Structure 1
Amino acid sequence: MSSVNLRHSVRAIVLDEDKRILLCRFAFPEPAGTVVWATPGGGIEPGETPLAALSRELREEVGLAVPTDPPHVWHQEVAAPGYAEGYDGVINDYFLVRTVAFTPRGTLSDDRLAAENISGMKWWHPHEIASYDGADLFSPRDLATPLTALITAGVPAVPIRLGL
């Protein structure tokens, strides 16, 4: 039986006081011109706890300190070759981080961010995501639906399972 090599990542749903979510703009070279707006976060390093990884990623990418115990609100598993370079897919665990609006600037240089395919950051209202009709993608693809439910209904008792 072959094992599937999934990249385990943590991601932050960073919400400000106006219920806007902070998304990173990932510009991927293949397929050419692919742009995906996704929450900040990244892979868990060997020996690192999910919370330590989340704290490190948020500090590096956007310059935000993580609260002590952010709620785990979403869980996503995507087994798709090519979805995460060098892996058969990804497991994303999403944590809710509430903050006041700020200008994102992490510890990584622009060159290091570019090496991670991050080419910008933007605060989005859920209705802007829901009504977006451009070529860019969101991750998860139907981000507006679980985001609106999270804002409306609050933190779920158990993490919501997301699709692609």
Structure 2
Amino acid sequence: MTEPNWREATRGLVIDEDDRLLMVKYVFPSGDVRWGTPGGGLDPGEDHIVGLHRELHEELGLTGATIGPHVWDRRHLFPMLTGHDGQRERYFLVRVGHFDPVPAIGWEQMRAEFLHDVRWWTVDELDASPESCIPNRLTTHLRTLLTDGPPPSPIDISD
């Protein structure tokens, strides 16, 4: 069996002092709409921390955030426009004070990357919402993280 052609990606669980999670709204060319965490593919030669700082700045206007522990891993097979077979993601905890996100790359570029909105959510709001989230079982994993703190090693949350 051939190993999939993975795109390496990094994601931030950006959580404020009231345990609200900052999420971005993806509207894919298929018409599928999902809320997910900020982040994205790594540039050539870029490590996960540097890539996450870049993504948080581009998508949220967030600079200088302390990147906390690597808490989750996720592999997701799906055909990508980049030619990859799927994505391998590392999720990092990023605790911040509440702020109003303003994408540094602007909304035109955000929409070109399928990102159409940014907002803060409580876990209860996510549970009550009819909106779909990435990853699956996000609120279950998030509640555990908020209750128990970061795990001693990253948890695999693959679909």
Q: Fold match, TM over 0.5?
A: yes
TM-score range normalised by the length of the shorter chain:
over 0.9
Instruction: Spell out the pairing of 1:3-152 with structure 2 (5 A cutoff).
Output: 3-30=3-30, 32=31, 34-78=32-76, 80-82=77-79, 84-85=80-81, 86-132=83-129, 134=130, 136-152=131-147
Indicate the SS of the match to 1:42.
Answer: strand
Do the aligned partners of residues 69 and 24 (structure 1) sit closer, same or farther apart at CA in structure 2, a change above 3 Å counting?
Answer: closer
Runs of 4+ in 1 over 3 A off after TM superposition: 66-69
- Alpha-carbon distance in 1 for matches of 2:67, 2:95: 12
TM-score, with length taken from structure 1:
0.91
> Does the aligned pair in 2 maintain the 1:66–1:97 contact within 8 Å?
no
- Alpha-carbon distance in 1 for matches of 2:117, 2:11: 17
Do the aligned partners of residues 66 and 6 (structure 1) sit closer, same or farther apart at CA in structure 2, a change above 3 Å counting?
Answer: farther
Structure-2 residue corresponding to 1:161: 156
Question: C-alpha displacement at 1:69, in angstroms?
Answer: 4.6
Identity %: 38
- Alpha-carbon distance in 1 for matches of 2:92, 2:61: 16
Query: What residue ranges of structure 2 are gaps of 5+ in the alignment?
Result: none
The residue type paired with residue 142 of structure 1 is R
- Alpha-carbon distance in 2 for matches of 1:150, 1:56: 24
- Alpha-carbon distance in 2 for matches of 1:10, 1:59: 13
- Alpha-carbon distance in 2 for matches of 1:19, 1:93: 20
TM-score, with length taken from structure 2:
0.94
Question: C-alpha displacement at 1:67, in angstroms?
Answer: 3.7
Q: After superposition, give the CA deviation of every residue in 1:64-104 in whole Å (9 maximum; x if it has no partner).
A: 125455210111111x232x332111111000000111110
The residue type paired with residue 9 of structure 2 is S
Q: After superposition, give the CA deviation of every residue in 1:94-147 in whole Å (9 maximum; x if it has no partner).
A: 000001111101210111000000100110001111222x2x310002100000
> Does the aligned pair in 1 maintain the 2:66–2:95 contact within 8 Å?
no
> Does the aligned pair in 2 maintain the 1:76–1:91 contact within 8 Å?
yes
- Alpha-carbon distance in 1 for matches of 2:133, 2:121: 11
- Alpha-carbon distance in 2 for matches of 1:52, 1:74: 18
Q: How many residues align?
A: 158
Indicate the SS of the match to 2:7.
Answer: strand
